[in-house]
Structure 1
Amino acid sequence: MNEAEFSIHTPSENVLTLDRAVLLYHGRSGGALATVHEVMTVDGAPVIGAGRAMTAQAARELAAALLQRAAHGGFLPETVLYTHGDVLLWWVPPARRHIAFHVGEDHAEAFGGRERGEVVPQPGLVFAASSRTWRVWAVKGNRRPTPQTPLYQGPYFNVDAQCRICQGNVPVPEGTTVEKIAAWNDAFLRSYFTHPNVTGKLVGYRGGSYAFWRDMLDQRFAKFPERVLVDAKTTLGALLGERESA
């Protein structure tokens, strides 16, 4: 029999001890039964003892304990789109946010300086992070994405044609739990954007990506011009279906 390794993170400094075990039984007709078993320690190892049927009161007590735990770390905000293992996808609604650039000397004059930063309108974004990847796509509109939502190339410097983010020397958070979303957002949005990472179009804009972001920094647009977004030719649902190779 395969053994699964797991760990428990408590929401406080209290130490959890193994006390009882709950076994669930399901019948072919859809019925279910739960039994509660005392856990004894024999020769330093936990052993599950004989069980008894779970009473309604015991079920309520267990539910209350689990809900208390969920209140600390199990709540999923609306921005979370998908979570499985260490893979986390989330949505960042469109908003005015600060963006900063540090471009090469050869682009400085046309860009208005080597270092520039302003608060500008930015599109809705979908981020994916895991131990293997860090990616970002743009989405149109201000509604929470669904599996049918088309994805667009992340219109930022340091993002390649597969929407992978070049980390460079930017420190990223450890772990991809829900409470780290703000830290992942900051790691991307508060970093310096230095150069385009695509061979094709980063944005569909006359003059290219440098001209586009120069005009954004010059406050030419009151709202992010979604017409410039380049179709990534996939949807959120298709992306989730391809998550193993993402």
Structure 2
Amino acid sequence: MNDITEKFGTLYYPKSALVFYETIGTETDMYVEHFDMDSNGTPVNAHPLTVKEAEILAKALQTDEERSRVFLKPKGILPTNILHINPSEKGTVLWYTKAQKRQLYFVSGLGIPNGKAQVPPMLWVADKSSLTVFALTANRRPTEKTPLHYAPFFNIYEKGNVCMGTVSIGIKNSSSVEEFIQAWEDYFFNSYFSHSLCADLTKTNIVNLWKDLIGTDKPFPIEVLKKNNKTLKNLLR
């Protein structure tokens, strides 16, 4: 006899069962009993369905459509750094960050050591699979008329879209807007900057710029940023 089990698809094993009980009569009542399954698939450990078990069941039965309804919903009051949300299936968020000190990573070929450095205020635009970034010159909330500047980093194209290389993007359909923007900031700063995709993104040599900033508390020199002839309003079209 040939063993054909390797040709089977994914095997599912019984883990639990629900039994619904209902009274007979004009005023019916119902309750649900939960059973665990032993290694032989036999129901054991019968007990009334608990609230926690019901919540787990509801989550397991949630459809993709229902999950999409919670995509990009805030956990509470909408964070003040978020400028625009498009909660469509693909989802898009526009937000900004103030100047801050971040850990940065560079491939050895650039000759820039890994370390912490001050980065400029930034404008971020992302959906589930792509990220675009720009630099800002002020630490305040931008308006539609705020001019945008090229982001002074490696791995960025002229239009601001970021080459994520081998970074595995895993934005969940159930992500809140806070989780969404945190994930993208982590993807960006925790990946290795490796190469320049556009010449002259800054008014000075970009390699020397980061060599001078890494490992110091020097504020990012805003004067080296270059305008890209766009404003925030261009991103809202």
Of 140, 144, 147 in structure 1, the residue corresponding to residue 137 of structure 2 is 140
1:120 is matched with which residue?
117
Q: Which amino acid aligns with 1:236?
A: L
CA RMSD of aligned residues (A): 2.4
1:201 is matched with which residue?
200
The structural deviation recorded for 1:229 is 0.7
The structural deviation recorded for 1:230 is 1.2
Relative to structure 1, the CA distance from residue 161 to residue 174 in structure 2 (aligned partners, 3 Å threshold; closer, same or farther) is: same
The structural deviation recorded for 1:14 is 7.6
Structural mapping, 1:52-71, within 5 Å: none
Q: Which amino acid aligns with 1:100?
A: Y
The structural deviation recorded for 1:215 is 1.2
Q: Deviations over 1:78-128 (max 9, x none)?
A: 111111121111111111111111142xx53xx4xxxx2121111111111
1:163 is matched with which residue?
160
Relative to structure 1, the CA distance from residue 93 to residue 156 in structure 2 (aligned partners, 3 Å threshold; closer, same or farther) is: same
Matched, 1:237 2:233: yes
Task: Report the secondary structure of 1:173's partner residue.
Answer: coil
Relative to structure 1, the CA distance from residue 237 to residue 13 in structure 2 (aligned partners, 3 Å threshold; closer, same or farther) is: farther
When the two structures are superposed, what TM-score results if normalisation uses the length of structure 2? 0.63
Are the counterparts in 1 of residues 128 and 171 from structure 2 also a CA contact under 8 Å?
A: no
Relative to structure 1, the CA distance from residue 72 to residue 152 in structure 2 (aligned partners, 3 Å threshold; closer, same or farther) is: closer
Relative to structure 1, the CA distance from residue 215 to residue 159 in structure 2 (aligned partners, 3 Å threshold; closer, same or farther) is: same
Q: Deviations over 1:45-93 (max 9, x none)?
A: xxxxxxxxxxxxxxxxxxxxxxxxx997363201111111211111111
Task: Report the secondary structure of 1:73's partner residue.
Answer: coil
Relative to structure 1, the CA distance from residue 71 to residue 171 in structure 2 (aligned partners, 3 Å threshold; closer, same or farther) is: closer
Relative to structure 1, the CA distance from residue 122 to residue 13 in structure 2 (aligned partners, 3 Å threshold; closer, same or farther) is: same
Are the counterparts in 2 of residues 88 and 177 from structure 1 also a CA contact under 8 Å?
A: no
In 2, the alpha carbon distance for the partners of 1:138 and 1:173 equals 25
1:129 is matched with which residue?
126
Are the counterparts in 2 of residues 202 and 230 from structure 1 also a CA contact under 8 Å?
A: yes
Q: Which amino acid aligns with 1:230?
A: K
Q: Calculate percent identity across the aligned residue pairs.
A: 30
The structural deviation recorded for 1:225 is 0.4
1:81 is matched with which residue?
83
Are the counterparts in 2 of residues 151 and 231 from structure 1 also a CA contact under 8 Å?
A: yes
Q: Deviations over 1:157-190 (max 9, x none)?
A: 0011111100101122314741221111011011
Of 106, 112, 136 in structure 2, the residue corresponding to residue 101 of structure 1 is 106
Matched, 1:215 2:220: no
Relative to structure 1, the CA distance from residue 139 to residue 13 in structure 2 (aligned partners, 3 Å threshold; closer, same or farther) is: farther
Structure 1 runs, 4 residues or longer, greater than 6 Å off: none
User: Unaligned 5+ residue runs, structure 2?
Assistant: 1-54, 60-71
Task: Report the secondary structure of 1:213's partner residue.
Answer: helix
Are the counterparts in 2 of residues 103 and 195 from structure 1 also a CA contact under 8 Å?
A: no
Higher relative contact order structure (alpha carbons within 8 Å, sequence separation ≥ 6): 2
In 2, the alpha carbon distance for the partners of 1:72 and 1:95 equals 23
Q: Which amino acid aligns with 1:174?
A: I
Are the counterparts in 2 of residues 103 and 193 from structure 1 also a CA contact under 8 Å?
A: no
Task: Report the secondary structure of 1:161's partner residue.
Answer: coil
In 2, the alpha carbon distance for the partners of 1:159 and 1:121 equals 18
When the two structures are superposed, what TM-score results if normalisation uses the length of structure 1? 0.61
The structural deviation recorded for 1:213 is 1.3
The structural deviation recorded for 1:131 is 4.0
